[in-house]
Amino acid sequence: MNAPKEQLRREYEGRLRLLVPGDAAELKRLPLLELVPPRIRDSVVAKIRPYAHFLDFAPGQVVVAAGEYSDSVYAIVRGAAVVALEPAQPVTRRAQMKGSPPPKPAAASAAPGRVQTLGAGDLFGDRSALSRFSVSATVSAWTPLRVLRLRLPALRMLTAVAPELRRTLDQRYRDETLSQQLRRVGLFAEVDEAAIARLREQAELMSLSPGQLLAREGTLADSFYLVRGGYLKVSVDVGGADLAVTYLRPGDFAGETAILFDQRWPFTLQAVEHAELVRLAREDMAAVAGDQPRLNDRLWQEALARLKTRGAVARNPVASEYLQMAIETGLVHGESVLLIDLTTCTRCDDCVQACADTHGGQPVFIREGKRYRNWLVPTACYQCTDPVCLVDCPTGAIRRSVGTLEVTIDPATCIGCSNCATRCPWDNIVMVETGGARADGKPEEVAVKCDLCRGRAEGPACVSSCPHGSAVRLSFKDMDKVRSVLR
Amino acid sequence: MRIVAATRPKKPRVFAATLGVALLLVALHGFGLSRGRFDPGRGLGLLFGVVAAAGYVFAAAYPWRRRASRLAPARVWTQAHVYLGSLAFLAALLHAGLARPQGLVATALLLLSGWTTLTGLLGTALQKWIPSRLTEGLRVEVLLERIEELRARLVADADARMAGAGEVLSRHYRQELRPKLARPMPAWSYLIEVRAGREQTLEPLRRLAGFVPAADKTRIDDLTGLHIEKLELDAHLTLQRLLRGWLVLHAPPSGVLLGLVAFHVFTGLWY
Amino acid sequence: MPYQVPWGTPERTRRLPKLRPLRPPLILPAVTGATLLALFGLHAAWRGLAAPGPVSQAHGASERRCQECHTQPGGVVNNRCQRCHDAGPIARLSHRAHEQAGRGVSATAGDAGPRARPEVSAPSCASCHREHLGRPALLAPRDDGQCAGCHFRGLASHPEFARITPAHTQAVTPRSAAVSPLPPSGVSSGFSHRQHVAELGKRGVATWDSCLGCHAPSVEARDLQEISFDRHCATCHASSGSLGATDPIPPADVETPRDIGEFQSLGGRIVKTVVRHRDPWVLASLRRLRWRIDPLGAAADRAALEARRSALRRHLALAAPLAGLDLPALEARDAALRAEIAELESRRSSAGGSVEAGLAQVTLASEAARDAGDAAAAREATELRAATLALSQGPIEPATLAPAEHDARRLELLVVIDALASASPEQRLRAEDLRRRVLALRPGDSTEAVVARALDQRRAEQRRVEDEIRLRRSGVVPPSTNLLARERRAIEEALASTAARLQQIGSPPGDSIVVAVDGDAAVSLAALAVRCAPCHGTEGAMVRGPHVTQRALTRATFVHGPHLGQAACESCHAGVERSEASGERNLPGIARCRECHAPRRVLSSCQQCHRYHPGDLP
């Protein structure tokens, strides 16, 4: 955070080049473009130019840092890079509810450990771009490096017109990432390497567009799905009404009943937005489950839990109503959503005052927002699982560190470009004036957002300072809490 | 039933425990009376006085709850303030021996204690009653500081919709409706019924619908909607001001009370 | 599109306010407290702010003069109350006085009941007499709870009267007719109720109607009139004004007759034919005879009276209130007291003192006797000296004398002092001092105890003088100087009566104090007192009063007035019609009182019968 000024300037200048479209001639020369059929190559290049950038790095400079979010795939044009592999850290429950503990002083960059070198023509960053997970390893330049950065729209366009590229990316995913992701899902945590490798081979990667139905309740269940990116709504049909039961996030799975019961789908699955899935055929999954008793147990546990939830929802549709509302409004993205109960809130603004006290006199949310029944959803950042505000930051001031829940903005490095504020679908990031002036005379601004009062031992100040206990924080994933709190 | 729900204590067990403690104090006082003439200056009477003073000091520490948020969240502090403050008042009454005090300072202490406690309980009642009324009765939810701005926007919106209206409607709007829309009209009746007087206020405009062309009928519907929003803003203005303003009745007298208590303790020890 | 009232805020503001951190307002309590304190300290008139209420009517003049009663810090201390209410040195209103009035001896509160706490020293005046409760409030406490702190909880748990022994209470039940187990009071006369009731019965008066004939109610005292011979007995026993005639007595044994009409001569002896009650000639003759029959007893009485006179003189000297002294005199008194305290402390620390110095006089006396040729006296002096030295060598074990022996020994000492004083008048002052010190001794006292008591008293007085000096210096007006006028009157009256009694006792005939006992004189005494003897005793050659109205209850006040209308005499004093000696107690037990004095019936509070502070002590 307190980087030396010089390095900061260099990084800034490097990232400024993101605004410069790639040179068409240079693009055409890339081996990557050779995968595109020649007759449409020119038009493709013209379309992807605004989203393709050439960047240069000096030896030692970091291209992508672990824990960052990236929306781009990088192709090395010239030079060599090293990849420092770090272990992945799961997000703890405490972090989910209260935010992360105060940050420890930054350790010196780790000893190399396991490294991997990449050369000209190699790709990296595609997994995090497509699945929207954070970057898992730091990639830095070994020699003077020139890379092509392809942002997501360009990547999508290319994969649409170049099936081989698609296959390459899928294969890469399958080889490098699927195992990791499979392991990350608690279900497969204890499965041995060989079984994982088998699953990896048999897995099929698929995408869904918003609103697309994956499975309808009552139809035959024949697949096991793993969610890579995006959100799926899980609902049941109760007396003609479609009641939302829960939703699936990246890392969740569906279809355990297919393996255990050989039955029809007990739920309807529908994509809420663009979703990326991994599909495993029933027979393959059953074979693996047959070998692994622990896996079997876990499947049973999950199945029972879901059936219970389904029963509870049928008995108490109100909670389902809240869930439906959350899915429609996007609250399901949030890991920690602030809700205020208006029947007990005395509009005293103590929450805002406490927020201001924690953030040096500047509150980071307003007690305004959408209202559902007696609950107000103020504009405090929801700490999305899959934040869209992280991409496009020119200075990297907005970040989410690995293993933490909250997305933080560093006011020292924020230049007030308001990209993040614009990208947030719910306007939860606001630009505030710092009091200074820019070079062009306009007032200097920085972006602020809720950071779950990171560094405060008791957790978010808004919740602990409400004199009537009207402010609550919850995740809509936790249906028990939703049922008990939102009534 | 809604009234009952609003007045129910948030933590019934704590409420019952407080009542129990209060009864215990009264019983203790009765026991002390049976043993001899009651004296505020020594023995059991003094103990009640100490309890009352300690309770008042604790209650006065309420504004520091955020500094002490490590001990307990603000919710617990608020409940402690209300319950222990009430018990402190009871202890003060028992310290005075449930008799009318004779000295100037003693009378002032009793009156201020009573006023502070009563206004505090009034505030608690308001804080239970008003939020539920606002939430259940109104659709609009607005910050107090923004009411003026929203009202101005509303008037501008109404002006825009009135463009090209017929003469009857225009005259009515100009003379009757617009002044009402533009002026804040808080009223005490909102405290009792948050939609007070709505039908009555909207009646003239509705009646006008029979005398205007079809195009204006749509305008009348829009104006009705805007007027309803304006009335809801008025209700918010009244009730949110009340929610903030009652503190002026409670906090300054409590400050004076604390000064008096300090003086009373000093003279008791010194003399 | 029709206008819809939005559900929530119509349009979210983009402006986040920059808030000031709120500071809790301490200004109001600080300002209030500071203002009040300033007013309070500035002027005495504002100090009334702190008072919890107006003072009572009696103290109303001091309403605005807080420092007359309050010390800062410290509250109301006893010294301040005593300035006006107990200005003399006797400490009439102290807790010790309460204990003494209750028991006669103090030091232990073990007889005060199960809840008494001996380690708790006296409660302060202000703990019971609460002020600032308004003008009409009564200062004297009215509730039993304060008494129950050390004593019993009330009449229901009150023990039997001390004058009635447990054996007696078993025999006496309410309204029972038990007479014989009644214990004697120690004073008897020949008065028999049975005889008199029977006599009156012969004249037609019913048994229980005859009570009021002698025991008549007195309106002012709310009690029964004191029995007096002239009012009650003379009607029958001295109907002609005379009790009768004496027996013949040798004229040398008696006084010279004055009024010849009342005397007769019979064979060389005198007979007084008209003997009145308290006949002065008879009494004077009796006194003369006493010196011949019981010279030591007469001398002892005389010595005791002299001692009492000395003590009263000192009381009179001390009964000058501090209010009468001006500032220089107060400071002189303070200095004198401090010197006394220093001397007492040195006496306490140097236990015993020098025996040799004390024996110097004895050595001188033996030498003088040897020079005068009185070998016997010289030998006695030498033996005394040797014995004293021998005693002083070994350890002295304190031996406590029984109270009766102690009193007898004390009287012996007083007699010796009296003789020395009359023998050498220049020793008068020293004799006075010694008399007072002998009077102050109590059974079981050691030197330390005596010195400690004196120290306590001096220290308490020094504190009072110091406090008075402080008050005078700060400009407080002293209370009135006639505070102790009543005490002074009482002491002077006591002095006068003591002097009169000394006068009556007279002095021994001749020069020597030791007079041989005369057997004839006893016969003459019997003849002289023949008319007195039936009612009065003649022990010790003195005619003793029958003390018919000696009060039975000393620690409580009982008045017959309110009870006369409630119950007949026989309901409490059952059996008295069969009593043969007036000394027999006819007291009913406490159970009889409880029949009416109970909760929800007649008032049964402690204050009904008992007082905390003793009555006026001379």
Average pLDDT of the residues in C554-569: 83
Q: Give mean pLDDT, residues B241-247.
A: 92
Q: Is A442 on the interface with B (CB under 8 A)?
A: no
Average pLDDT, chain C: 78
Q: pLDDT value at position B131?
A: 93
Ordered DSSP codes for chain B:
-HHHHHHS-SSHHHHHHHHHHHHHHHHHHHHHHHHS---TTSHHHHHHHHHHHHHHHHHHTGGGTTTTTTTS-HHHHHHHHHHHHHHHHHHHHHHTTTS---SHHHHHHHHHHHHHHHHHHHHHHHHHHHHHHHHHH-S----GGGHHHHHHHHHHHHHHHTTT--HHHHHHIIIIIHHHHHS----THHHH-TTTTHHHHHHHHHHHGGGS-HHHHHHHHHHHHHHHHHHHHHHHHHHHHHHHHTHHHHHHHHHHHHHHHHHHHHHHHH-
First-to-last alpha carbon distance for chain B, in angstroms, is 55
Which pLDDT score is estimated for B147? 92
Flag if C53 and B106 touch (Cβ within 8 Å): yes
Which percentage of chain A shows pLDDT scores above 70?
86
Instruction: Considering only residues C222 and C184, tell me which one the structure prediction assigns the higher pLDDT.
Output: C222
Is residue C275 within 8 Å of residue C242, measured between CB atoms?
yes
pLDDT above 90: percentage of residues in chain B: 66
| Kind of pairing between the strands at A430-437 and A398-399 | unpaired
| Average pLDDT for C316-343 | 87
CA C508 to chain CA centroid, nearest Å: 32
Helix, strand, coil percent content, chain A, rounded in steps of 5 = 35, 25, 40
CA distance A340 to chain B (A): 12
In C, which residues are within 8 Å of A448 by CB distance?
16
Write the pLDDT tens digit of every residue in C384-406: 888 877 777 766 666 677 777 88
Specify the amino acid at residue A41. R
pLDDT band at C173 (very low <50, low <70, confident <90, very high): very low
Q: How far apart are the first and last CA of chain A?
A: 42
Nearest-neighbour CA in chain C from A57: distance (Å): 39
Q: Quick check: bond before C395 cis, omega within 30? A: no
The pLDDT of residue C175 is: 39
User: CB distance C18–A364 less than 8 Å?
Assistant: no
Q: Do B271 and C48 touch (CB under 8 A)?
A: no
Mean pLDDT (whole number) for A8-17: 68
Per-residue confidence band for C419, with pLDDT thresholds at 50, 70 and 90: confident
Dihedral sign for Cα atoms in the order C245, C248, C251, C255: negative
Instruction: Report the distance separating Cα A420 and Cα A392, nearest Å.
Output: 7
**Which residues of chain C are within 8 Å of residue B222 when distances are taken between CB atoms?**
2-3
Contact C394/A at CB under 8 A: no
The mean pLDDT value for B235-242 works out to: 94
Q: Pick from A96-105, B79-88, C20-29 the range whose average pLDDT is largest.
A: B79-88
Residue type, C371: D
- When CB atoms are compared, the residue of C9, C14, C21 closest to A361 is C21
Mean pLDDT value across residues A163-176: 78
pLDDT digits (tens, 9 = 90+) for C286-298: 888 888 888 788 8
The answer to whether A70 and A135 are in contact (CB under 8 A) is yes
User: Which residues from chain B sit within 8 angstroms of residue C31, using beta carbons?
Assistant: 259
pLDDT of residue A86: 53
Name which of B211-220, B241-250, C103-112 the model is least confident about.
Answer: C103-112
Nearest to C52 among B103, B142, B266 (CB): B103
CA–CA separation, A432 and A147 (whole Å): 35
Helices within A373-460 (DSSP H only): 419-423
Gap from C72 CA to chain B (nearest CA, Å): 6
pLDDT score at A184: 66
pLDDT surpassing 90 at residue B116? yes
Nearest CA to A267 out of A319, A305, A301, A230 is that of A305
pLDDT tens digits, one per residue of A53-75 = 888 888 888 888 776 677 788 88
Condensed to tens digits (0 to 9), the pLDDT of residues B1-24 reads 555 666 788 888 999 999 999 999
The enclosing H or E element of A14 equals helix A5-16
pLDDT band at B82 (very low <50, low <70, confident <90, very high): very high
The answer to whether the Cβ–Cβ distance between A347 and B70 falls below 8 Å is: no
Closest CA of chain B from C100, distance in Å: 25
Q: What residues pair up with A338 in beta bridges, in sequence order? A: A473
d(CA A435, CA C79) in angstroms, rounded, equals 72
From the number of C-beta atoms within 10 Å of its C-beta (0-12, 13-18, 19+), residue C484 rates as buried
Which of A98, A464, A473 is the best residue to mutate to test the B interface, defined by the most B CB atoms within 10 Å of its own CB? A464
CB-CB under 8 Å, A432 with C19? no
* Least confident interval from A99-108, C341-350, C532-541: A99-108
What pLDDT, on the 0 to 100 scale, is given for residue C119?
45
Judged by a CB distance cut-off of 8 A, whether residue C144 touches chain B is yes
pTM (2 d.p.): 0.76
- Residue B255 is nearest to which of C32, C48, C130, comparing CB atoms? C32
Query: pLDDT averaged over chain A?
Result: 80
* Least CB–CB distance from C28: residue in B34, B161, B256: B256
Across the interface, of B10, B69, B130, the residue whose CB is closest to A458 is: B69
Identify the structural domains of chain A with CATH numbers, from first to last.
Answer: 3-161 (2.60.120.10), 178-326 (2.60.120.10), 331-486 (3.30.70.20)
Q: Per residue in A416-474, pLDDT tens?
A: 888 889 989 898 999 988 888 888 888 888 999 999 988 788 889 999 999 999 999 99
pLDDT digits (tens, 9 = 90+) for A222-271: 888 888 778 888 888 877 778 888 888 877 888 887 777 777 888 899 99
| C12 vs B146, more confident | B146
Q: Do B150 and C134 touch (CB under 8 A)?
A: no
